[in-house]
Chains A and B, each alone.
Chain A
Amino acid sequence: MSDTIWVLVELENGQPARSSLEVLGKAAQLGRAQAIVLGSNAAQVAPTLGEYGAAKVYVHDDAVYDTYLTLPAVDTISNLLKQHQPALFMLATTYDLRDIAARLNVRHNMGLITDATDLQFDGDTLQVTVPWGGENVVTATFPKQGTGIVLTRPKAFGLERLEGKTAEIETLSPALNAESQKMKILDRVEVQSEGPSLEDASVIVSGGRGLGKAENFHLVEELAAALGGAAGATRAIVDAGWLPYSYQIGQTGKTVKPTLYIACGISGAIQHLAGMKGSKYIVAINRDEHAPIFSVADFGVVGDALTILPQLTAEVKKRKAQ
């Protein structure tokens, strides 16, 4: 069996996404890692991918991948799959890469495993670890021949850089299909938020249904601001329309690993725990003493977040001023 592993490296403003480089590093531990990089500036990026584990890089520097969603990338990778048969195709779980994976899965009748947190080969058998629900962890594999796709959970692997390591470069010149230039990106809007982003924050204060109503969410934001952190939310209150999707922490939404996570009025649904369990210290405030959030909390308070939050914000400000 081939020990070649492909990794699609996503570009963000012309630079390789950290999430993709983490996956590339993992692929290099498992076998012969080959990166695919498509889009404007891909030719500049390609030689640097050796330092992150790529033995070879397939590159197509073309703005078509930046202008049109999904399909041009699917076509190019599909052509490449007709010429080569890697053992595995790994992608980070991001908005754009998920869409590409979903189509390739069907076009090439591949096996596909999502949300993986670890992979290893036991002889010829690939074992993929997938946390499932709060209680179970599943080990899955591809029993049939052919390339399997694995999408990995954000932040599952660390970033490694081997300075000076180089990669073989192969420049692709695929025929571009006009039919695939359908989903046109007209503009990109960055929404500025105050303070650190959820991904970068070392402190996150987040709120759930226990806050009662959307108007109470400012209590969470005020504590986050006092601690120099970011505010987050559960899927339940995002679904209820209190906050935009960008606040959502959980299996859907963002996976966060801050130093401190303060959960306010959050019961601890499995889907939420999946996104924040990796936090170093977890503090929970909830009225229900049986709430699952207490099973992961380092420090828990059974009480009303609406009463405690303003007191805690005041206490934090007072102690910080001392």
Chain B
Amino acid sequence: MKMYVCIKQIPDPNTVVSKLDPNSKRLVRSGVSLVLDPGDESTISAAIKIRDTIGDSEVTVVSMGPASAQEAMRRALAMGADRAILVTDPALAGSDALSTARVLAAVLKKEEVDLVFCSTESTDGYTGMVPGGIAEFLGLPQLTFAREITIEGGKATIKRVTMTGYQTVECPLPAVVTIASGSFEAIYPTMKGIMGAKKKPFTQLSLADLGIEASQVGEAGARERVMAVGKVEARAAGQVMKDEGNSAQAIADFLQRYQLL
């Protein structure tokens, strides 16, 4: 089976406070530490696990981003993905969810796809609109919010997270599947994996390679516009004390003062 995982390089959510540039109104990427989205680590691991279970399969990671995204893709290869395809083009800056889906779908259309995995949403943008968009461009069903997945008899069956539990949902392949964060333990790259990643096939594509006009993507193609970036009204901070063994009493006093006990 040919499996694809759409991934993204983002500012490290554990160390970077994401900022918007008030002039370009885009995410500030310069001078910040960029990593493979931690949600994607879990999703890549899900695909690798399935590949190793069913055998005779291949996992390709696909991304759209600046040249720096190569690093995130190398990490995916070090984790165990077999090959990588990166779409990079200056005209892509400022792309919205629709354009991103258009570009990733264009890559996948050139491949023989059995399964496309995405994380439910990225950890920086959170729109969650790209996977469904890719599915629509490809004319494939989309199984979303999977916390478990089984591939058998040309069908995918997932446990789909709901507000109160889960649903079991099945659909025929090929299909797009999104993985709920934390559902699969991330594979940690070994030294052997890191060394091996350097020899794995790595393809870089431009918009021209995909036959997409620059006007359809990036800022030019975006159907939304940011009019203004403002500051959030800060919530007034309250009292902060150091624990000296009496904190439990102090908190209980606070709760009683506001009739919360």
The reply to whether B128 and A102 contact each other, CB–CB distance below 8 Å, is: yes
Chain B, 186-226, CB within 8 A of any chain A CB: 223-226
The reply to whether A301 and B133 contact each other, CB–CB distance below 8 Å, is: no
**How far, in whole Å, are A319 and B145 apart by their CA atoms in the complex?**
42
Chain B, 205-261, CB within 8 A of any chain A CB: 223-232, 234-235, 237-243, 247-252, 254-256, 258, 260-261
**How far, in whole Å, are A277 and B239 apart by their CA atoms in the complex?**
17
Given known A-B contacts A106-B101, A114-B126, A140-B224, A301 and B141 have beta carbons under 8 A apart: no
Residues of B within 8 A of A186 (CB): 157, 167-170
Question: Is the CB of B127 closer than 8 A to any CB of chain A?
Answer: yes
Given known A-B contacts A143-B225, A183-B169, A95 and B144 have beta carbons under 8 A apart: yes
**How far, in whole Å, are A133 and B123 apart by their CA atoms in the complex?**
11
Q: Per DSSP, are chain B's interface residues mostly helix, strand or loop, or mixed?
A: mixed
The reply to whether A137 and B181 contact each other, CB–CB distance below 8 Å, is: no
The reply to whether A105 and B225 contact each other, CB–CB distance below 8 Å, is: no
Residues of A within 8 A of B235 (CB): 277, 295-296
Contact of A114 among B128, B171, B181 (CB under 8 A): B128
Chain A, 133-169, CB within 8 A of any chain B CB: 133-144, 148
The reply to whether B254 and A135 contact each other, CB–CB distance below 8 Å, is: no
B5 to chain A, nearest CB (A): 17
Question: Is the CB of A44 closer than 8 A to any CB of chain B?
Answer: no
Given known A-B contacts A106-B101, A139-B226, A184-B171, A245 and B180 have beta carbons under 8 A apart: yes
The reply to whether B232 and A300 contact each other, CB–CB distance below 8 Å, is: no
Contact of B165 among A191, A259, A260 (CB under 8 A): A191
Residues of B within 8 A of A216 (CB): none
The reply to whether B229 and A138 contact each other, CB–CB distance below 8 Å, is: yes
Residues of B within 8 A of A51 (CB): none
The reply to whether A302 and B242 contact each other, CB–CB distance below 8 Å, is: yes
Residues of B within 8 A of A301 (CB): 240-243, 247, 250-251
**How far, in whole Å, are A244 and B25 apart by their CA atoms in the complex?**
35
The reply to whether B248 and A300 contact each other, CB–CB distance below 8 Å, is: no
**How far, in whole Å, are A286 and B181 apart by their CA atoms in the complex?**
25
**How far, in whole Å, are A105 and B242 apart by their CA atoms in the complex?**
51
Question: Is the CB of A124 closer than 8 A to any CB of chain B?
Answer: no
Contact of A285 among B96, B133, B166, B247 (CB under 8 A): B247
A89 to chain B, nearest CB (A): 13
Question: Is the CB of B34 closer than 8 A to any CB of chain A?
Answer: no
The reply to whether B126 and A69 contact each other, CB–CB distance below 8 Å, is: no
Task: Closest B residue to A318 by CB, please name it.
Answer: B252
Residues of B within 8 A of A111 (CB): 96, 223-224
**How far, in whole Å, are A269 and B16 apart by their CA atoms in the complex?**
10
Question: Is the CB of B18 closer than 8 A to any CB of chain A?
Answer: yes
Question: Is the CB of A311 closer than 8 A to any CB of chain B?
Answer: yes
A15 to chain B, nearest CB (A): 14
Residues of B within 8 A of A269 (CB): 13-14
A-B contact pairs, 23 of them (CB 8 A): A69-B144, A95-B160, A98-B144, A103-B133, A103-B136, A106-B136, A134-B232, A142-B225, A187-B167, A189-B166, A191-B165, A238-B181, A239-B39, A259-B260, A269-B14, A289-B242, A295-B235, A298-B238, A299-B251, A299-B254, A300-B238, A302-B240, A316-B255
Question: Top 5 nearest A-B pairs by Cβ distance?
Answer: A102-B132, A303-B243, A111-B223, A311-B248, A298-B238
Known: A95-B163, A143-B223, A239-B182; 12 extra A-B contacts, CB below 8 A, are A102-B97, A141-B224, A184-B171, A235-B181, A244-B182, A245-B147, A245-B183, A297-B237, A300-B237, A300-B240, A301-B247, A316-B261
Binding site for B on A (CB under 8 A): 69-71, 94-95, 98-99, 101-103, 105-107, 109-115, 127, 131-144, 148, 182-191, 197, 199, 203, 227, 235-236, 238-241, 244-246, 248, 251-252, 259-260, 262, 269-271, 277, 281-283, 285, 289, 294-304, 307-308, 311-312, 314-316, 319-320
